[in-house]
C-alpha cells in the first residue's frame, strides 16, 4: 500500500513584488502553486496510492475569489475516481474560522474538526489517522499531546500542523516535542508547517515533507511530497518525490579573482549554467549575490543598477525564458577597504538614533521598494546597512 504525505501547499499564495521586474514571467510564477498541486494529484494516481495526507496550510487565509476552491475540489475529484481517500487538517493559514470553512468537501475527503482531536478509521486499508485542525491562526498549546491513544491492529498515523520544539524562522505554533510524539506509539507522524523537508525520526517515522512549491528566495531547492510504502502494517520506506514547478536558487558568486565587471559576469554565467542544470527543466528563479574582496570591487559596486541590468541581460541571452533573475546584490565583503570608514566609530546611542530614523523611512516606502528590503528582522536591517556602507566606500574611492 502507498500513502502520499504533503503539506503547506499555499495554493494561490500571492507572490509579492514581481510586477516591478520588466519581463518577469508572472503567469508561470503565479500559477506555480496550482501546477504543483496538480503534480501532487498526478503522483497519487501514478503510485496508485490509497491515501493522501495533507498536513495543513492548503490555502492562504484569504482568497481573491472562489476559483481556487473550485480548482482544489476539481483536482480532488480525480482521486475519487481512483478510489483514493484524502485526510487533512487545517493549519495557521487555513484555520477553522478562515474563508476555507465555506468550501464544501467531496465525500472521499475527511477534514478533521478543530474542537478536539479525533480519529478516522479506514478499516479496508487497515489504517487509522488521528488529527485536529487549528481553531484559529495562533495556537500556542500542544495539540499532539492530546491525540488519541494507539489503536492496535491498525497502522496508526498522526496528522499534525506544528513547529514541534521550534524551528526558526517559522512561528511557534502548536509546539510539541519528539518525546511527546514518540510516546503516542504511532507508526508515522505526518507533520506540516515547516517548509524545509526534515526527517525528525525513523523509529517511528516523524516527517516534515516541506512545502510543495517554493514561493520566494528563502524557500530554496527541490520541493515536493513524501511517498510512504506500507507492508503488513509496517512502514517500509519513505521517499521524497520532487514536484515543484519553479526552482528558487540563491547563487553566491565569488568575484575575488575578477579583474573587472566582465570577469565578474563570466563567474555569474558559470553559476547560472550550473543552477539551470540542477533545476532539470523547471523555471529557475535566481537571486544572485556577488561577494569576495577584489581590487576591482569599487568598479563592480559603483553602479548597482548597471550590474543588475547586465546580469539580467546575460541570463536572457544564454537561457531565455528558462531563468528569471529575481534580484542581484553586491555584498559588502567586496569592499576593498580593510579599515573602518570613520576614524571614530558610531556610539551605540548614535546607531540606535539612525535606526529609528530609518524605521520611519521604511514605513513610507512604496510597496515595490519595501518588497526589496527585509527591514523587519535584525539580520535584514544589518544587511541593508552593510550594503549601504559598501556603496558609500565605493563612491568615496572614486574621489581618491
What is d(CA 6, CA 109) in angstroms, rounded to the nearest whole number?
15
Percent of the chain past pLDDT 70, that is, above it, reads 76
More confident residue, 57 or 201: 201
> Longest Cα pair distance anywhere in the chain, in angstroms?
80
Whether 197 contacts 169, CB under 8 Å: no
Task: Compute the average pLDDT of residues 205-226.
Answer: 94
Residue 117 grid cell = 482531536
Please, are residues 346 and 326 in contact by the beta-carbon 8 Å criterion?
no
- DSSP structure class, residue 375: T
Q: pLDDT value at position 305?
A: 81
pLDDT tens, 69-103?
Answer: 889 989 999 998 899 999 999 988 777 655 566 67
Q: Is the pLDDT of residue 190 over 90?
A: yes
pLDDT at 395 over 80: no
State the pLDDT at residue 258: 83
The band of 368, judged by pLDDT with boundaries at 50, 70 and 90, is very low
Report the distance separating Cα 131 and Cα 147, nearest Å: 7
Q: Residue 319 pLDDT more than 90?
A: yes
Of the candidate ranges 139-148, 193-202, 286-295, the one whose mean pLDDT is the lowest = 286-295
What are the sequence ranges of the domains in the chain? 2-242, 247-398
Instruction: Provide the pLDDT for residue 293.
Output: 72
The answer to whether 253 and 287 are in contact (CB under 8 A) is: no
Would you tell me how many other CB atoms lie within 10 Å of the CB of residue 60? Answer: 20
| Spatial distance between the Cα atoms of 187 and 114, rounded to a whole number of angstroms | 23
Look-up of cell digits 575575488 = 256
* Cell numbers representing residue 33 in the block: 502553486
**Residue 246: pLDDT over 70:** yes
pLDDT at 298: 66
Instruction: State the Cα–Cα distance between residues 323 and 320, nearest whole angstrom.
Output: 7
Residue 84 to residues 17, 22, 50, 213, 240, Cα–Cα distance (Å):
38, 43, 5, 23, 20
The pLDDT score that the predictor gives to residue 286 is 94
* Mean pLDDT computed over 215-236: 94
Write the CA distances from 348 to 44, 355, 383, integer angstroms.
Answer: 57, 10, 18
* Confidence (pLDDT) at 314: 95
Give the integer Cα–Cα distance in Å for 150 and 165.
Answer: 22
pLDDT value for 213 = 94
pLDDT of residue 99: 57
**To the nearest whole percent, how much of the chain has pLDDT over 90?**
50
> pLDDT confidence of 335, banded at 50, 70, 90?
very low
Query: Which segments within the chain are labelled E, that is strand?
Result: 2-6, 51-55, 85-89, 109-111, 118-122, 127-131, 155-161, 188-192, 198-202, 205-208, 224-231, 234-242, 246-254, 283-291, 323-330
**Other CB atoms closer than 10 Å to residue 384's CB: what's the count?**
16
Higher pLDDT, 25 or 275: 275
Mean pLDDT of the chain: 83
What size, in residues, is the chain? 400
The pLDDT confidence band at residue 333, using thresholds 50, 70 and 90, is very low
In the sheet with 109-111, reading across from the earlier edge strand, the strands are 109-111, 85-89, 51-55, 2-6, 224-231, 234-242
pLDDT at 138: 83
- Residue carrying C-alpha cell 573587472: 260
pTM above 0.85, yes or no: no
Q: How confident is the model at residue 337 (pLDDT cuts 50, 70, 90)?
A: very low
* Whether 24 contacts 375, CB under 8 Å: no
Average pLDDT of span 144-161: 96
Q: State yes or no: cis peptide before 380, omega within 30 of 0.
A: no
CATH fold of 2-242: Purple Acid Phosphatase; chain A, domain 2 (3.60.21)
Nearest residue to 72 (alpha-carbon basis) of 59, 55, 90: 59
pLDDT tens digits, 292-318: 876 666 666 677 788 889 999 999 999
Amino acid at each position: 500500500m502507498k500513502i502520499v504525505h504533503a503539506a503547506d501547499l499555499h495554493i494561490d499564495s500571492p507572490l509579492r513584488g514581481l510586477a516591478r521586474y520588466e519581463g518577469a514571467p508572472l503567469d508561470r510564477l503565479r500559477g506555480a502553486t496550482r501546477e504543483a498541486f496538480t503534480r501532487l494529484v498526478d503522483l497519487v494516481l501514478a503510485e496508485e496510492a490509497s491515501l493522501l495526507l495533507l498536513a495543513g496550510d492548503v490555502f492562504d487565509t484569504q482568497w481573491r475569489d472562489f476559483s481556487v476552491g473550485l480548482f482544489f475540489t476539481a483536482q480532488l475529484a480525480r482521486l475519487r475516481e481512483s478510489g483514493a481517500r484524502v485526510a487533512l487538517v487545517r493549519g495557521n493559514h487555513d484555520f477553522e474560522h478562515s474563508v476555507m470553512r465555506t468550501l464544501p468537501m467531496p465525500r472521499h475527503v475527511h477534514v478533521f474538526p478543530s474542537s478536539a482531536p479525533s480519529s478516522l478509521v479506514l478499516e479496508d486499508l487497515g489504517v487509522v489517522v488521528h488529527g485536529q485542525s487549528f481553531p484559529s491562526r495562533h495556537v500556542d498549546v500542544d495539540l499532539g499531546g492530546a491525540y488519541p491513544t494507539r489503536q492496535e491492529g491498525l497502522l496508526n498515523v498522526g496528522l499534525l500542523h506544528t513547529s514541534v520544539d521550534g524551528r526558526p524562522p517559522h512561528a511557534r505554533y502548536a509546539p510539541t516535542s519528539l518525546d511527546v510524539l514518540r510516546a503516542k506509539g504511532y507508526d508515522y507522524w505526518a507533520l506540516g508547517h515547516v517548509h524545509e523537508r526534515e526527517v525528525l525520526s525513523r523509529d517511528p517515522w516523524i516527517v516534515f515533507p516541506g512545502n510543495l512549491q517554493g514561493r520566494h528566495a528563502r524557500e530554496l531547492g527541490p520541493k515536493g511530497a513524501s511517498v510512504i510504502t506500507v507492508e503488513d502494517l509496517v512502514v517500509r520506506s519513505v521517499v521524497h518525490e520532487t514536484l515543484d514547478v519553479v526552482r528558487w536558487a540563491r547563487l553566491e558568486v565569488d568575484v575575488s579573482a575578477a579583474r573587472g565587471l566582465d570577469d565578474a559576469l563570466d563567474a555569474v554565467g558559470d553559476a547560472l549554467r550550473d543552477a539551470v542544470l540542477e533545476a532539470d527543466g523547471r523555471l529557475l528563479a535566481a537571486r544572485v549575490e556577488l561577494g569576495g574582496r577584489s581590487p576591482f570591487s569599487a568598479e563592480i559596486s559603483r553602479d548597482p543598477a548597471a550590474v543588475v541590468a547586465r546580469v539580467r541581460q546575460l541570463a536572457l541571452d544564454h537561457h531565455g525564458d528558462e531563468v528569471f533573475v529575481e534580484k542581484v546584490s553586491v555584498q559588502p565583503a567586496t569592499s576593498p577597504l580593510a579599515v573602518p570608514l570613520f576614524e571614530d566609530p558610531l556610539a551605540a546611542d548614535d546607531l540606535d538614533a539612525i535606526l529609528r530614523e530609518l524605521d520611519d523611512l521604511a514605513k513610507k516606502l512604496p510597496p515595490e521598494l519595501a518588497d526589496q528590503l527585509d527591514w523587519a528582522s535584525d539580520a535584514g536591517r544589518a544587511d541593508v546597512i552593510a550594503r549601504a556602507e559598501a556603496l558609500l566606500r565605493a563612491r568615496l574611492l572614486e574621489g581618491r
